[in-house]
Every structure is written in C-alpha cells, then in structure tokens.
Amino acid sequence: MITDLSGKIAVVTGGGTGMGRELVRQLAAGGCDVAFCDLSPDTMAETAAMVAEESPGVRVLTHMADVSKEADLEAFRDAVVEGFDTDHIHLLFNNAGIAGGGSMFETERPAWERTFDVVWGGVYLGCRVFLPLVAAAPEGAVVNTSSVNGFYASVGPDRPHTAYSASKFAVKGFTEALITDLQVHAPQVSAHVVMPGHIGTKIVANSLRHATVEPTAEVAEFMIAVDQMFEEQAPMTASEAAAVILAGVLGGRWRILVGDDAHELDRRVRDNPDAAYDGDHLFHLI
C-alpha cells in the first residue's frame, strides 16, 4: 500500500487530458516522477509543460500509445524502464478511456468493439504489461478507472449504453478479483477501482477524434455540442476528481466513488436493485 507519493514512480495512461492530466499534475506535485501516455502528442506536450512549470524537480516522460495494443504498451514500458533507469514502478493508473458503442442494434461493430477494446482492454493489457514492474517495488498500487456505469448500466431512458457499460463492469470485476491475486502473489501491492460519476472532461470529444468509424457531419456536430455540455455542466471538475482518487489510494480504500452523484446512484442501486432499470427509477447521469 502506498501512503506517500514522494520519491515514487507513477505510470498513467490517458494523461493528455481530463482526469489523466490532473492525476499527472497532482502526482508530480506530490513528488512523483511520472510517465504517461496518450494518443495526442499535442495534449501530452501541454500536460508535460504544466508539470515542468508547477513541479520542476520531478522527472516526466511522455509516450504515444494506443492502450488497446499490447505492442504499444510494451514499448511504453520499455521507455519507462530506460528513461527512468529503473526495474520497478510504484503506481499504475490505468485511466485511459473513450465513450461510444451504445447499441448492439444501431452501432457498427468496429465502433462497438473499439470502445470495449480501449476501456476494458486498456486496463487488462496495462496490468499484463506493467504489473511485473509494480510487483518488483517494495510497495505499490494498481488503480483502475471504472465508472458508475460499472455498477449501473444506463445513462437514462431510451439511450442504450452497452459497450461502455460492459467494459466498465469488466474493469470493476477484474479489479476486485485482483485484490486476492495480489494478496497471494504481491501482498505489498494494493488494488483500487475508481468509479466516477459525471466529471468535467473531454471524453466525448476525444472519442470523436479517435473514432474508427467516421461519423456523419450531423452526428459530429451533435457530438461537439454534447461534449461542451458534458464538460461545462459537470458537477465536479477533473482536478477535483483526481484529488479524490489520490486521497482514496493513499487512504487505502479499494473502492473509490468520485462525486456526489456516484454516491447517490450507488445508494439507490443498493437500496432497490430489482427496480434499478424500471421507468421512474432510472437515474439520469447527464
């Protein structure tokens, strides 16, 4: 279990924007050397510049990688080992994600599977590739970002949400199972599952930018409008969310709910699970 950030090495996927960027900044502010990957060199450069200004005493490494591709993550791992001259890391944040793949009926299969491969596959492959480095440390933590959609598979009525929800359920279940696996094989390493509610990030815009299927002009215009609403009307900022996540990790909480809406939805589902998807009980996440 990690109780202090100073002098540690952290790896963050999806560090170019949103919660990933804020995790990188706050980890560095706490004294961590940080390596992070993303698909956009421009946003990675922006994050790195922020860290250089805010926390000049720490080392920062950036690497372009698609987390759904094991070879990309292996190259990222090798860059971390060489760039930081290390045989271990202390913290692994499998944070990268995209939205999409709402319907089994309406979504084209490549788009559905792209969402699943990034959101779930990025966590699975991130652990496959980096877990040996975490286990080699005297203390460590694996932090996997799920979602409230990892325990509640809807964003509201008439809005299918299958790929994202299925992938986030997989992340949650995998991380819970990882707790015992680590206790048996690397008891000095803790596992944490993060379940944010509505956080002000650019996940919609990023998903559109890296879509495998080119949307129509009408759909693209709608998505841009949704992205602006999603970020500006969120009840919690990405910076606030990152602070909650790090406090949870340092406090030893394996289950980290982020946002009042996450806590409220968790309570509702637990109080009456049989009615969770019935008409008036549906919870509107956005």
Decide if pLDDT at 129 tops 90.
yes
pLDDT at 227: 47
Decide if pLDDT at 58 tops 50.
yes
User: Which CATH code fits 9-271?
Assistant: 3.40.50.720
What is the DSSP secondary-structure string of 184-201?
HH-TTEEEEEEEE-SEE-
Query: CA-CA distances (angstroms) from residue 12 to 26, 32, 77, 255, 259?
Result: 12, 12, 11, 19, 21
pLDDT at 156: 83
- The 10s digit of each residue's pLDDT in 71-111 is 999 999 999 999 999 999 999 999 999 999 999 999 999 99
Task: Examine the residue annotation and report whether 124 is marked as an active-site residue of this protein.
Answer: no
pLDDT at 214: 59
Place of tokens 């693209």: 220
- The CA-based diameter of the chain, rounded to the nearest angstrom, is 56
Q: Looking at the whole model, is its pTM more than 0.75? A: yes
pLDDT at 226: 47
Query: Could you tell me the pLDDT band of residue 233, with boundaries at 50, 70 and 90?
Result: confident
- The 10s digit of each residue's pLDDT in 164-203 is 999 999 999 999 999 999 999 999 999 999 999 999 755 4
Decide if pLDDT at 117 tops 60.
yes
Decide if pLDDT at 284 tops 70.
no
Rounded mean pLDDT of the chain? 90
Which H helix or E strand runs over 226? helix 217-232
Which H helix or E strand runs over 179? helix 162-185
